[in-house]
Chain A
Amino acid sequence: MKKIVFLFVALTAATTISAQNYFTRDGKVKLDATSSTSPEKIEALTKTASCVLDASAGKIQWAVLLKSFKFEQALMEEHFNENYVESNKFPKATFSGQITNLSEVNLAKDGTYNAVVTGKMTLHGVTKDITTNGALNVSGGKIRVNAGFSLMLPDYGITIPSLVSDKVTKDARILIDATLEPMK
């Protein structure tokens, strides 16, 4: 009997989790650090960001491997990894946050919702609080997340040498686009 109860509890727990968690490993994160005076674009894209959303609690977690960012110029990619984010020491950037206006977001119903997310960003070994707005588009059981925000690179101990300060801005723009599916 005990076993049956345990099994029942385990099964219920499993179904609840799978019904409430959304996940992707194919999130797109674009980094744009082009300064207004730069003749060339300083930007990079990764298509392998992970995101887990606990829909009922409104908790959202992101992780991106810095080495997976692709730049058009190989030299920029090298500088980014070796001199700026030091990906060998800090391979991952993470964000762990909370949707603060969860009552205005109905993830069970198709539609587009504005979400306010506040949480902790960890990059280059430094953790900072950030708050940003994002759009959640719920359609056919999937949730598309779009958000854009700025990161002040010096806040994360990333210094832009004065030699390239006319090209690389301290105020990097981050754009996120990910489609989350119910976790199996």
Chain B
Amino acid sequence: MKKILIALLVVVAAAAGVGYYLWNKPHVDLTNAKSDIAVDAKTLLEEYQLNEAASNEKYFDKVIAVKGTVMEVMNDEGTVKVSLETGDPSGFVVRCELSATAPHARTEFTVGEQVQFKGTCSGLNFDVQLDNCVEVR
């Protein structure tokens, strides 16, 4: 009887532990993640503009390492968004939104400098949007 009770307790504790872990599951942290695909900002936007559906097949929700030149940096109420130049005539870019939870060595960037970010691709909304970004140094 006692054994059954102990076994039951263990099961309940394990379930609670799993539940607690899932509930407090940390947000995506790409600091040590291996990128699925590496591309430059210009190519990424051009591919999306050419064929959005095929590009989503290739990039959506994947970890992308994107290289480019900083065109604009914006701090939008605590959210840092870095636009990478693409040479697009309408001014559309690859936008990297820095992760709100991952550690960053820096969150300030200079217009014109070369950078590389790792981020998950969320798709095309005029710009190509990468979320959860961390800088690759």
The answer on a CB contact under 8 Å between A48 and B125 is yes
The answer on a CB contact under 8 Å between A91 and B81 is no
The answer on a CB contact under 8 Å between B74 and A26 is yes
> Taking the complex as formed, is A75 at the interface, i.e. its CB lies under 8 A from any CB of chain B?
yes
Chain B, residue nearest A45 (CB): B79
Question: When chains A and B are docked, how far (Å) is the Cα of A26 from the Cα of B129?
Answer: 12
> Taking the complex as formed, is B34 at the interface, i.e. its CB lies under 8 A from any CB of chain A?
no
- Comparing B2-10, B25-33, B104-112, the segment that makes contact with chain A is B25-33
Q: How far is the CB of B122 from chain A (nearest CB, A)?
A: 4
Max count, chain B CB within 10 A of own CB: residue among A25, A66, A70, A88: A25
For window 54-97 of A, CB contacts with B under 8 Å fall at: 63-68, 70, 73-75, 77-78, 87-88, 91-92
Q: How far is the CB of A98 from chain B (nearest CB, A)?
A: 21
- Given A48-B97, A68-B122, the answer on whether A25 and B61 have CB atoms closer than 8 Å is no
Chain A, residue nearest B79 (CB): A47
Residues on B lying within 8 angstroms of A by beta carbon are: 22-28, 56, 60-61, 74, 76-77, 79, 81, 91, 95, 97, 100, 120, 122-127, 129, 131
Nearest 7 CB-CB pairings of A with B: A67-B122, A91-B123, A65-B122, A74-B27, A74-B25, A65-B123, A68-B122
Beyond contacts A67-B131, A75-B22: 20 other A-B pairs, Cβ-Cβ < 8 A, are: A25-B126, A26-B81, A47-B77, A48-B81, A48-B129, A65-B122, A65-B124, A65-B125, A67-B120, A67-B122, A68-B97, A68-B129, A73-B25, A74-B25, A75-B23, A88-B60, A88-B61, A91-B122, A91-B123, A184-B91
